[in-house]
Structure 1
């Protein structure tokens, strides 16, 4: 399935250009779409990208939110090391549109990335993650199912109880933010 980008209003000035740049530098077409909602606006980003140049180098050419979006797109890179590196650039950013990128990583197979998110959970903005969790219950449920599947397939011996798996702990923390926090902006 071909990726069809959708950006919240705040990302539209530079999001399409960035996707065009990544697409032009990719070894394969961008396929697959991750869909979510951010403050009532549709947001669709690539499931995976195969960009040849170093995304951190591309990010260095941008400033502010354009740089953050480049790093966020880097969390969709085919190489787990690049995903992890890019995650550290966005993990505690106070932008609503960062949450879907971070949560999406919890439903993937690289446990070191889940551990990094778990280690930073107390520095995540609860209002941002609470709003995201409440607004995207299907996204959260799908991510949880994927985390359980990866735990079952690859990490069951290491973490006997799936609730001890780092991705599950981080997901539970985000879900609790959503259940416990009333968003004053609504």
Structure 2
């Protein structure tokens, strides 16, 4: 069961979603975020370069006015986009993803990776388009994501299983085999990045692209 924090807890919950050095920037961003009736949903924890962060599964705040966003620094706007990539509205998540997916900041990576394990097909396609370097051995993007996955093996395994589950539940009518589903290509590239990072084969938690799968939700 997922639990929601009360609205009064939101500032603390959002600050700990980022490395400690960004705490003041996060607080500056929160000054522009409208209040919400519901607080953030129970966060998931991952490691970012040796530091544990706890990112909300969902937030329910309306978006700030565009004019207010323009007054933020570049780092602060990136933080804002990351936070709203956790929004309950899939269209908001997709729009904010487009602003963060190509970032080279390690603390952005878990926000992108969490979206890989969700159900909006257009978001999966956007991630694939925004990370062309994943398919290039030795590229900066491959190193960035490979390093994150190597530190968060359990998180990535759960993401893989979710990709299979959402394909089976919602998209099997369109993609008859898992290997033709856009999420499959993504997890294959992420796994290759992790393998390159550790210098060995990374464990697989999805069917091979060339086979079918009879998987239900997990």
TM-score, structure 1 length as denominator? 0.87
Residue 10 (structure 1) aligns with: 21
- 4+ long deviations beyond 6 Å: none
Aligned residues: 182
Matched, 1:31 2:47: no
Q: 2 CA distance for matches of 1:36 and 1:18?
A: 22
Alignment partner, residue 88 of structure 1: 98
With over 3 angstroms needed to count, the CA separation of the structure-2 counterparts of 1:168 and 1:20, relative to structure 1, is: farther
| Contact map agreement 2:82 2:97 (CA 8 A) in 1 | yes
When the two chains are superposed, the root-mean-square deviation of aligned CA atoms in Å is 2.2
By relative contact order (CA 8 Å, sep 6+), the higher-ranking structure is: 1
Contact 1:15–1:69 (Cα < 8 Å) also in 2: yes
3-state SS of paired residue (2:82): helix
Q: What is the rounded CA distance, in whole Å, between the counterparts of 2:152 and 2:31 in structure 1?
A: 27
Over 3 Å counting, the alpha-carbon distance change for 1:58 and 1:147 in structure 2 is: farther
Using the TM superposition, give the Cα deviation of residue 160 of structure 1 relative to its aligned residue in structure 2, in angstroms.
1.3
The answer to whether structure 1 residue 175 and structure 2 residue 171 are counterparts is no
Per-residue deviation at 1:74? Answer: 1.1
Are residues 55 and 41 of structure 1, via their aligned partners in 2, closer, same or farther at CA, if it must alter by over 3 Å? farther
Q: Which residue of 2 aligns with 1:152?
A: 168
**Structure 2 unaligned runs (5+)?**
135-140, 200-218
Alignment of 1:1-186 (within 5 A): 1=3, 2=5, 4-5=13-14, 6=16, 7-19=18-30, 22=33, 25-54=35-64, 59-123=69-133, 125-181=141-197
Bigger radius of gyration = 2
How far the C-alpha of 1:161 sits from its partner, in A, is 1.4
SS at match of 1:157: coil
Per-residue deviation, 1:150: 0.8
Report the CA distance shift for 1:59/1:46 in structure 2 as closer, same or farther (over 3 A).
farther
Contact 2:60–2:87 (CA<8 Å) still a contact in 1? yes
TM-score, normalised with respect to structure 2: 0.75
Q: Tell me, in whole angstroms, the C-alpha distance in 2 between the residues paired with 1:26 and 1:92.
A: 29
Q: In structure 1, what is the Cα distance between the partners aligned to 2:61 and 2:157?
A: 29
Q: CA deviation at 1:13?
A: 2.1
